[in-house]
Amino acid sequence: MIELEHVSKSFGGVKAVRDVNLIIDHEKILGLIGCNGAGKTTLFNLIAGQFPATSGRILFDGEDVTALPAYDRAKLGIARTFQIPQPLMKLSLFENVLVGAFMRTADRDEAGAAAMAVLDQTGLVDKADLYAGELTTPDLKRLEVARALATGPQVLLLDEVMAGLRPAEVDAAMEMCRTIQKSGVTIVLVEHVMYAVMNLCEHVVVLDQGSIIADDTPENIAADSRVIDIYLGREHANDEAA
Amino acid sequence: MQKVESSSSAPSEPGITLPASISGKGTPWIFLGLIALAAILAPTVLGRYGMTIGITLLYSAYLASAWNVVAGYAGQLSLAHGAFFGVGAYASVYFYTQWGISPWIGMVFGALISGAIAAGLGAVSFRYKLTGAYFAIATLAFAEILRVLINSSQYLGQGSGLVINLQEPGWWIMQFNDPKYFYFIFLTMMIGILFVMRWLSRSRFGYRLAAIRESEIVAESLGINPRREKLLAFVLSAILVAPAGSVYSQFLLFVDPPTFLGLTVAVAIILPALVGGTGTILGPLIGAVVLVGVTELLSHFALRPGISLFAYGMILILSVLLMPRGIWPTLHDAWVRRRAKK
Ligand SMILES: Nc1ncnc2c1ncn2[C@@H]1O[C@H](COP(=O)(O)OP(=O)(O)O)[C@@H](O)[C@H]1O
Ligand SMILES: [Mg+2]
C-alpha cells in the first residue's frame, strides 16, 4: 500500500534517513524501532509529507505521492500522530477531533457524530469538553490518536503513543490498536515499549542512524544479534546508566 | 450511535471561545430579543446626537467584526483593513460623483475591488509564508502604498479627497435628512455580520480557520490547505469591510485619506476586537460598546483637552493587561466556571 524507494533525507549535514526501501502492507501492524535519533520520526514526516524527501520516491497504492503536500496525502488516507502532542490549544478535545472528522464531510452533525464515535473508541468521551491545558499526558497521546483516526485513514502512523503510559494503560492502548487494525486500518507503530511491539506487530523494521538494518518477524528481531547489540543492548546500557 | 445521541450535549457547541449562550442551547433568546428591540426603538427615543453615537458604535462594531474574520478566526493579523475600508468609500464616492452611479451599486463594486485586491495581496503573502508579524508588516506596507498613491492621485482629489454634493434626499442616492436611516443601515449590517460569525463558529470553514490559527502543521495533517483557507478568509474579510466605507462616506458626505486610509484607521478598526475579544462572535461588538462608551463619557467629563485621550490610552492599556484575551472571553469563562461550581 505504501512503498518507499531509496528514500533519503538530510538536514544540512545530518543524514537523518539514508536510502530507505520499505513496503507497508495492507491491514497489518508494522513495528518501527530504533534508538533516539535513528530517524523514525523523520521517516513518518516523509511519509506524511510534512517535508519533502531529499531523494527517492514514495508510492501510495501505486501512485507516486512524492511531490504531494501533507494535506493531499491526508486526503488520500495517510494519517499521523505527533510524537510531542500538538493539541489545538483553544479548541476543546471534542473540537480537536471534530476538525479531523470534517475532512470527510462538511456536515456538522455528521462530523460531530463521527468525532463522538472516535472519542468513544479512544476512551475520551468523558473528557470531550476539556481543553488541552486540562489534559494529562496519556490523554494528550490519546487525543493525537483520536484526531488522526477521525480523518478516516487507510494508514495510521503512530509515533510513540504509548510512551509514559502505565502497564494497564499500555494494555488498553494495545487493545485499541487491534480494534483499529481490525476495522481495516493499516498501522505503523513507532514504539519503545518492546512488549507492545513484540505482541502487536507481524513485522518489525529496525532503523539505525537513518538506515534499515533489520526487517523481520518480532521473534527473529528479538534474536538478531546486531539488533541486540545496536538497539536492545544500547537501551539496556542506557537503563543501567540511568 | 446511541452513545453519540446521548452525549451530544456534552461538548460545548463549537466556536473557539464560543459561549454556550449563543450556540443555540440555553440561548437567552429573550435577552437577545430585548436588545434587538431596544436597538430598533432607539431612534424614536434618542435625538440626533444620540443617533450619531449609535452610528459610531454600530459601524465600529461592524468593522471590528469584519476584521475578526481573518484576524480572530484565522489568526492572520491584517493591517490592510484601513485600506479596504477606504477602497469601499472611494469606489462608491467616485462612481457617484463622476458618473452618477448609485452608492448602493458603488458599494457592491467597492466590495468586489476590495476582495480582488485582498486576493492579490493574500496570494503573494501566503505564497511566501508570511505569517504573524511578517504578514502584519506586509499588509501595513500595502496600506501605506495605497494611501500615498491615492493621496497623490488627481482623479481622487489628492489630499483633500472627494466631496458629495447634497441632493434631494432619497434611498437611491443614499442621502437622508435624518441620521436614523444610517443608523438602520449599520444596524442591518451588524446583524448580518453576527450571523456570518455565528456560521464561522460552527461550520467546517470556521473550524479549518481555527485549526490553522492554532497550528498549520496539525491543520495540514488533517487535510487542510492553509494557503487556500487563509486566502478565502482574507478575501471574505476584505469584502465585508468595504461596504462600511461606502455607507460611512455617504454619512459624512465626503471621502479623504486621513479619515478613510492609513494606519490610524486600521488601528481604529482593530481596537474594539482586541478589547472585546478576538475569535468570538460578540467580542468586537462588546469592545465597541466599551470603547465608544468610554470616549463619550470622557468627552463629557474631561476637564482639559488632552485628558480624555490620556484616559482613553490608560483604559486601553489596563484592559489589555487585565484581560489579554479580551473582555468577552474573560467574563464568559468566569460565568461558566461559576455555573460549573453550582
Ligand atoms: N526538522 C529537523 N531539522 C534538523 N534536524 C532534524 C530535524 N528532524 C530531525 N532531525 C535530526 O534527524 C535525526 C533523526 O531524528 P528523528 O527522526 O527525530 O529520530 P527518532 O524519531 O528516531 O528519535 C536526529 O539527528 C535529529 O536531530
Ligand atoms: Mg521520534
- For residues B15 and B269, give the distance between their C-alpha atoms in angstroms, rounded to a whole number: 22
- Report how far ligand 1's centroid is from the alpha carbon of A39 (Å): 6
Domain ranges of chain A: 25-53+69-77+153-242, 89-152
* pLDDT average, residue stretch A102-110: 95
| Model confidence band, residue B7 (pLDDT cutoffs 50, 70, 90) | very low
Q: What is the pLDDT of residue B342?
A: 58
Q: What is the pLDDT of residue B20?
A: 39
CA distances from A152 to B91, B219, B223 (A): 47, 15, 11
CB atoms within 10 A of CB A109: 10
Q: What is the pLDDT of residue A227?
A: 78
CB atoms within 10 A of CB B226: 24
Q: What is the pLDDT of residue B303?
A: 66
Q: What is the pLDDT of residue B333?
A: 79
Angle at A166 between CA A160 and CA A171, to 5 degrees: 75
Q: What is the pLDDT of residue A116?
A: 95
CA distances from A176 to A149, B141, B276 (A): 11, 52, 43
Cβ B136 vs Cβ B79: under 8 Å: yes
| Model confidence band, residue B300 (pLDDT cutoffs 50, 70, 90) | confident
Mean pLDDT score of chain A: 91
Cβ A34 vs Cβ B184: under 8 Å: no
Is the Cβ pair A95, B11 closer than 8 Å? yes
Q: Provide residues of A within 8 Å CB-CB of chain B.
A: 48, 50, 69-72, 74-75, 79-80, 82, 86, 88-92, 94-95, 98-100, 102-103, 106, 108, 111-113, 116-117, 120, 125, 128-129, 147-148, 151
* pLDDT average, residue stretch A136-163: 95
Cβ A114 vs Cβ A70: under 8 Å: no
Mutation site for B-interface testing, chosen from A41, A75, A96, A116 by largest number of B Cβ within 10 Å:
A116
Cβ B117 vs Cβ B87: under 8 Å: yes
As given in the structure block, the three cell numbers for residue A127 are 473528557
- For residues A143 and A96, give the distance between their C-alpha atoms in angstroms, rounded to a whole number: 8
Q: What is the pLDDT of residue B261?
A: 92
Task: Give the CATH class of A25-53+69-77+153-242.
Answer: alpha beta
Judged against a pLDDT cut of 80, whether residue A221 lies above it is answered with yes
| Model confidence band, residue A194 (pLDDT cutoffs 50, 70, 90) | confident
Q: What is the pLDDT of residue B341?
A: 65
Find how far residue B214's CA is from the centre of its chain: 22
Q: What is the pLDDT of residue A235?
A: 53
Mutation site for B-interface testing, chosen from A102, A120, A147 by largest number of B Cβ within 10 Å:
A102
Judged against a pLDDT cut of 80, whether residue A165 lies above it is answered with yes
Please write the tens of the pLDDT for every residue from B91-144. 999 999 999 999 999 999 999 999 999 999 999 999 998 888 899 999 999 999
**DSSP-assigned letter for residue A188:** E
Judged against a pLDDT cut of 50, whether residue A150 lies above it is answered with yes
- For residues B195 and B40, give the distance between their C-alpha atoms in angstroms, rounded to a whole number: 18
A102 closest CB neighbour out of B207, B214, B226: B207
Domain ranges of chain B: 54-269
Q: What is the pLDDT of residue B21?
A: 35
Residues of chain A with pLDDT > 90, as a percent, come to 75
Ligand 1 atom showing the smallest separation from residue A12 Cα: 4
Q: What is the pLDDT of residue B321?
A: 86
Determine which of A135-144, B1-10, B262-271 has the lowest per-residue pLDDT on average.
Answer: B1-10
Please write the tens of the pLDDT for every residue from B236-261. 999 999 999 999 999 999 999 999 99
